[in-house]
Amino acid sequence: MSLLIRNKVNLLVCDMAGTIINEKGLIYKAIGSTLNKLGYPSTNEDIKTWHGADKREVMYRHIKSHYKSPNNKYILAKVNKAENLLITELEQKYFEDNNIELIDNKLLDFFHNLRTNNIKVALNTGYPKDFQRKIINHLNLTKSVDTWISSEEVVAGRPAPYMIHQLMEQCEIDSVSNVAKVGDTINDMKEGINAGCILNIGVLSGADNKEDLAKYTNLIINKITDLNDTPAADNISLRALFKGLEI
């Protein structure tokens, strides 16, 4: 946490799945199976591009790519059907089968320590906003964070910077030089870069690997709670990508 304090971070924007939530990679499997059911098979290379992106945008682009001259009304109807199937499957797997948990049992203490040190905590996601709210309620996160936003609520999801800028407005943060982004995907890191965040922190608890994340991060850690001051410094690799970064 001293890294955040030294760099005058007042807002930590956290991705959800793979960063603060362990959902065992089910989201990408569910998107793939949903698209396959509708006759739009995907490859491993396709799936890699989905990491951290708005789920509806992912399905729209994938379905559209299967047509040489797509009729947008037809495509949107297919996307609506895909989104409904996806949410139904995820609700079953996440809530009824209980395949979702916090990434670390110390996460809520970590958030409490951040907020005690005047660092606000915000969540952002590529899930639809109603589903995001269900996850937050299911894991009892409402009192442990300051605010949250879904990519459904902005013009475009990651890697566009709009969610971060909206969260800054909600938290009354004037400058991106006081904002850090943490996430498990390249799209998370690109979002932070596009928003102008002072720190972009990659975690290895989710979708993308160290080699891919390292191209876009200031810091790579095993999981978000490693930002706490712990003896686990050997698990942390630092890359100063911005002029004046204090590490």
- Concatenated DSSP letters of 66-80: T-SS--HHHHHHHHH
Alpha-carbon distance 178 to 10, whole Å? 5
Supply the pLDDT for residue 24. Answer: 86
User: pTM of the predicted model, to two decimals?
Assistant: 0.84
Cα dihedral 70→75→76→78 (10° resolution): 180
Supply the pLDDT for residue 175. Answer: 97
Band (pLDDT 50/70/90 cuts) for residue 102 is: very high
- For residues 18-36, average pLDDT: 92
Band (pLDDT 50/70/90 cuts) for residue 115 is: very high
% pLDDT > 70, the chain: 92
Supply the pLDDT for residue 229. Answer: 63
More confident residue, 220 or 246: 220
Residue pLDDT, tens place only, 28-69? 899 999 999 999 999 988 988 898 888 899 999 999 999 988
Supply the pLDDT for residue 48. Answer: 87
Closest by CA position to 206, among listed 37, 55, 26? 26
Mean pLDDT of the chain: 90
